Amino acid sequence: MKQSMTLIPTLREVPADADVKSHQLLLRAGFIRQNASGVYSFLPLGKKVLQNIEQIVREEMMAAGAMEILMPALQQAELWQESGRWYSYGPELMRLKDRHSREFALGATHEEVITSLVRDEIKSYKKLPLTLYQIQTKFRDEKRPRFGLLRGREFIMKDAYSFHSSPESLDEIYKKMFQAYSNIFERCGLNFRAVIADSGAMGGKDTHEFMVLSEIGEDTIAYSNESDYAANIEMAPVLAAYEKANEQQEELVKVETKDQKSIEQVAAFLNVPASKCIKTLIFKADDQFVLVLSRGDHEINDIKLKNYLEAASVELASPEETKALMNCSVGSLGPIDVDKDLKIVADHAVEYVINGVCGANDEDHHYTNVNPSRDLEVAAYTDLRFIQEGDPSPDGKGIIQFAKGIEVGHVFKLGTRYSEAMNATYLDENGRAQPMIMGCYGIGVSRTLAAVAEQFNDEKGFVWPANITPFDLHLIPVNMKDEQQAALANELYSVLGQHRFEVLMDDRQERPGVKFADSDLIGLPIRITVGKKASEGIVEVKERKTGNMFEVHKDELLEKISSLL
């Protein structure tokens, strides 16, 4: 590609409203332009990266046995009414009416359309499993679009859906998809983690998010420093790998702790670490109050508590409820001498506290030398807290660390959520109608582009990974008016192209400084500069990643480049 023929509108200044590196650089290097809030055009370089990512996605989907289709953006309201989401999806779903006043949604996702399609065409277990995918434009009217392509209102997604007659079959495809997703993000060069995620209200069982590690991510990932283990922080179990301190149990003492409310205050006042404090909270689990204990340096994880109690909902009791129940404020709550009817559950860690501190259900007083097995009536010790950095990894390998992540992919066992609502059934071997079991698998394709842009840059611009770079080589004749330079540049452009390298040639009449700065900003893996030594057939090669530069004779150029890429 000759640069004079294409559109790469680079900017020297950082655009005012671009907060994150990827957004800034995609604008500055001329990859994208904004059309409206959260709506972008992909310029030639951006489009090329997008296509390279799509090609990788297609290859891996093919390998996973998924078939490509293309569904429409215009989706009849009736389908969304069948699934119930016409009402529940909220303002993120863009809606419009056609000339006959029929209502449509602009596809934010395609569960309804695909379920409708498959229910009409698949009648027998013999035709299952079936996995279909598309790469298509999605519309979601985000309340606050931000970070450029990372959270847009019109974006490109790969969404796949699988249909099964047994959970085992779903497991199998789920595994294949998981592998495909790992391959895709690996091939894009991303530093990512497959993270155990919350299946939320969807009723699914397994679900993983693929998170690209990034400081600007909105999710926290707990991962092992030694293994592949990673989970959304909400989902990570904590091993009960505590040890009792080698310490004599002392006698329980009630002490005055005037005006000391928080764990930090009490611990400082009594000169004990927070890990020796026992924090007492009252939760309302459905209609039942429960006293929940954790160590002062730990946080109760609502989801774990809810799952343990098998409750539909859990929430902290209000100060009023607490007062009515315990006749004290929240800051003075404690587990000693409480009503026998009030169930006490505690996080594992509490069991290992020796000579600890807890509230006394009496304003301005605490107990010290609390030893749970001796002093407390705990119904059960179990895993109720959020994992923390430094905790052992739940898989027993290594230590947990935290990272922020950008979600670029999601694999999900949907089960029969949609097939039941929309009556998508097949006849089993006994001729009985059964709801199809479904999985769904999404990748934010344009978001993946932004995630790569976020990870691959330095102070001068992009440093594209070889697999998805818009071009392999940036060929720069320093002075196109110099006949020898122009001749050698044109010769190399032609020869390199014939050898299947993608070459961008800067044939513009610009100053060398402008060309070099643009080249660093655009960030192709290798720059080839044709300058004063053109007459000797010598060019300068620069590797963008390392900054290494050296001179090469044109006869050795192909070999040199191949070894670098």
Residues that bind a second copy (CB under 8 A): 1, 5-7, 9, 33, 35-36, 39-44, 46-48, 50-51, 65, 67-76, 91-92, 94-96, 98-99, 102, 104, 106, 113, 116-118, 120-122, 126, 130-132, 137, 139, 141, 143, 153-154, 509
Q: Which residues pair with 219 in a beta bridge?
A: 405
The residue among 38, 24, 66 whose CA lies nearest residue 443 is 66
Closer residue to a second copy in complex, CB, 67/466 = 67
CB 446, min distance to a second copy, A: 9
For a second copy, the closer of residues 79 and 476 by Cβ is 79
CB of 123 to a second copy, least distance (A): 10
Residue 220, phi-psi category: left (phi > 0), alpha (psi -120 to 50), beta (remainder): beta
Rounded Cα–Cα distance for residues 466 and 379 (Å): 58
Backbone angles phi, psi at 498, to 5 degrees: -65, -25
Q: How many CB atoms lie within 10 A of CB 352?
A: 18
User: Sign of the CA dihedral 18, 24, 30, 32?
Assistant: negative
Closer CB to a second copy, residue 7 or residue 245?
A: 7
Indicate the residue among 38 and 204 with the shorter CB distance to a second copy.
Answer: 38
Output the smallest distance, CB 469 to a second copy, in A: 16
Q: Which is nearer to a second copy, 100 or 374 (CB)?
A: 100
Q: What is the DSSP letter of 522?
A: H
Nearer to a second copy, 76 or 220 (CB): 76
Nearer to a second copy, 68 or 362 (CB): 68
**206 or 502: CB nearest a second copy:** 502
CB 380 within 8 A of CB 270: no
**DSSP SS3 for 262:** coil
The torsion defined by the Cα of 328, 330, 334 and 339, in degrees rounded to 10, comes to 60
Least distance in Å: CB of 416 to a second copy?
20
* Nearest CB to a second copy, comparing residues 40 and 181: 40
In whole angstroms, give the CA distance from residue 444 to residue 197: 17
Map residue 543 onto helix, strand or coil.
strand
Least distance to a second copy, CB of residue 97, Å: 8
- Enter the DSSP assignment of 331: G
The partner residues of 159 in beta bridges, in order of sequence, read: 134, 442
Other Cβ atoms closer than 10 A to 407:
21
User: Residue 157 or 557: which CB sits closer to a second copy?
Assistant: 157
- Min CB(150)–a second copy separation in Å: 16
Neighbours of 310 (CB within 10 A): 8
The distance of closest approach from Cβ of residue 507 to a second copy in the complex, given in angstroms and rounded to an integer, is 12
Cα torsion angle, 440, 147, 518, 2, sign: positive
Half-sphere exposure of 184 toward its Cβ, with a 13 Å CA cutoff?
34
The sign of the CA dihedral 221, 224, 230, 234 is negative
- Give the SS3 label for residue 27: helix
Q: Is 82 helix (H, G, I), strand (E, B) or coil?
A: helix
Q: How far is the CB of 477 from a second copy (least distance, A)?
A: 17
Q: Which is nearer to a second copy, 65 or 398 (CB)?
A: 65
Residue 330 Cβ, how far from a second copy at the closest point, in Å?
Answer: 38
Residue closest to 439 by CA, chosen among 71, 115, 76: 115
Give the C-alpha separation, 343 to 340, whole Å: 7
